Amino acid sequence: MKKLKRPKIPLYIIATLLFGLKTYVVYRMFGMEIENSMQELILLINPFVSAFLVFALSVWFNKHSRQMKFIRYMALIGSLLVYANLVFYRQFSDFITIPQLFMGSNMSDLGSSILTLLQPYDILLFADLVIIWYLSKKRQETMTVDYPKSGKMFAMAMSLVLLAGNFFLAEMERPQLFTRGFDREYLVKNVGLLNYHVYDIVQHSKTESQRVFADGNELPEIQEYIDENVKVYENSEEMHGVAEDKNVIFISAESIQSFVINNNVNGEEVTPFLNSLTQDEDTYYFENFYEQTGQGNTSDSEFLVENSLYPLSRGAVFFTHGGNEYQGIPEIIDDEGYHTAVLHANNKSFWNRDGMYNSLGVDKFYGEKAYEVTPENSAGWGLKDKPFFEQSIPYLNSMEQPFYSKFITLTNHFPFDLPEKDASIERYDSSSSTLNGYFPAVRYMDEAIEDFFGQLKDAGLYEDSVIVIMGDHIGISANHNKAMAQYLGKEEITPYDQVQLQRVPLFIHIPGHGEGEVKSKIAGQIDMKPTMLNMLGIEQPENGIYFGNDLFAEERKDYIALRNGDFVSDNYISTSGVCYNRETGEPVEQSTSEEGSSDANGESQSQPASPCAPIQKKVDKELGYSDDIIYGDLLRFMDFEDEEGKEEEENN
């Protein structure tokens, strides 16, 4: 009796199951929030759909060895891609984009930070790769398939049907998903990590072509929007020229968030000096000031401050569009006799600062080589803040006045590994070593800034300067929410809370002013440029492009757009598709709108409408216009000098 052959399972099916399961496990490690059973179903199936789409291509190779090699290397590439996103997500609660892959020159500076994100159990995530390689090498003959052309076409058709089904469910769960591509978590949850990266490649190619085809015809529409929605609000007359001819010393305070201000840890104040500034008669403190950065972190905050344009949703504009034409603060105030400088004890190529500073018109960049950096005075990312400020005083003394000088601190940077000898308060005790180390690092920066104030006084620079201290971006990501909830005394950190944690401190200190106060109006980094120029008594060009308002103006826009498309308004916070009451944090019930669809008789039908919807339209339009300006390099088509010349002729 002839022995029947046992039916075999081809390797591409096994690889699909193993890789799909591994990817789903990683999804869970991302900690993405699942809101309903449909989202759970989509999250479960999309990694298998994506894996089948890739591995099924192996059936088109007739040679068995090539089939096996294709599956092996696709599994390797896929595993590295998934793991790279996991490590990236642990720090930034975000996914890698194509522009970030071009920022590889930053990796040498990120070494110690990356190592803290690796976990010993991560090795288990490559177990499927070991199995696939073993089977492809040792069981090649039983793992391959010899399909006729019809079988190959069937495998391809099946993968496309599964993909279409995935997209159909995603569209049901999140209509117009691909129109909000800056919400990367929604994309990954609904179409999968692999398809997200394909989408990202398409978007990158599309945006890269925008500059080539831009001709300036896009500007009138943008200018009209700004005239009607931004410039309609007048600058503060009371604060106009309050800092005229004074030096501006701008401190970009690394990773500090507002939750530490006037707060304690282990019974001690976290920031005693900054706390004192909130009550200082010469200081304005903005308690509802939000960071609006994207993937560019500190460089994005710099871009916001100098240009009053939004950073990009993908990558860092400093890297991807550092050679564009801009009209930042340094270029504008240079015409008024200001000397401009940036001081940052890191190498000039990090975040492409040397290239971008040239585009912004910065006169001088004091980088790592301008400082004496030794193992004794450095920690983490480089020169510690206290010696940084101390060594910077001679440079300030040598600058022609008035000057505009920006200081970018380093010590309070992830992973917040401050040497014990520099810590003046105890670490917090929670499950997050990142949050635990955050408090001593923040305190060290607070002490460094206090020392700097004293050094400015000793150097005779204090009285004739305006000192601005601004948090650049958050330091504690959503991955530490459990520990953060413990510290804040909450049961959990909700999406509403997560937005509120994007508040960073802003202090504007004017020695001798005597009218300082705490400002509660919502504001953001987009507002810094018009505020600074108004304080200096410098007018922006009539045809200037900017999206922020003067922080001291009586009337301003009633919302702040965040880079991911969320927003904060006077009354609402919109995030994760939910509209919250800003004061209570409770979701707001939708009202009934008459602007709905039509029934069979053509009559209007009312539909539920969120009170956040009208503002959301403005936010999406504003972010889109800013992206168009950057991707198209549209400011190269504007003649600001001619406009200024006309104004001078009219004044004469």
Going by C-alpha positions, the residue among 74, 39, 67 that lies closest to residue 53 is: 74
Alpha carbons 362 and 405: distance in angstroms, whole number: 10
Quick one: residue 610, left, alpha or beta (phi over 0 = left, psi -120 to 50 = alpha)?
beta
| Dist CA 295 CA 309 (whole Å) | 15
- Which tokens sit at 431? 């499950």
Q: Which residue has the tokens 């990367």?
A: 184
Listed residue (392, 385, 333, 340) closest to 367, CA to CA: 392
Catalytic choice (144, 298, 434, 575): 298
Q: Which two tokens stand for residue 469?
A: 């201290």
What does the alpha-carbon distance between residue 255 and residue 414 come to, in Å, rounded to a whole number? 8
Q: How far apart are CA 44 and CA 192, in angstroms?
A: 10
Chain length of the chain: 652
**Catalytic site residue 142?**
no
Q: Which helix (H) or strand (E) holds 405?
A: strand 403-408
Count Cβ atoms within 10 A of the Cβ of residue 352 and give its class: 0-12 exposed, 13-18 middle, 19 or more buried: buried
- How many other CB atoms sit within 10 Å of the CB of residue 150? 8
Q: 71-86: buried (b, 16+ CB within 10 Å) or exposed (e) per residue?
A: bbebbeebbeebbebb
* Cα separation, 647 vs 153, whole angstroms: 69
Residue with tokens 């978007």: 203
Structure-derived torsion over alpha carbons of residues 366, 470, 566, 492, reported in degrees to the nearest 10: 120
Q: What's the one-letter identity of residue 182?
A: F
- DSSP string over 442-502: HHHHHHHHHHHHHHHHHTT-STTEEEEEEE-S-SS-GGGHHHHHHHHT-S---HHHHHHTT
Residues 6 or more apart whose Cβ sits within 8 Å of residue 428: 265, 266, 435, 436, 438, 439, 483, 487
Q: Residue 293 is encoded by which pair of tokens? A: 């950065």
DSSP-assigned letter for residue 308: S
Q: What are the residue numbers of the active site?
A: 298
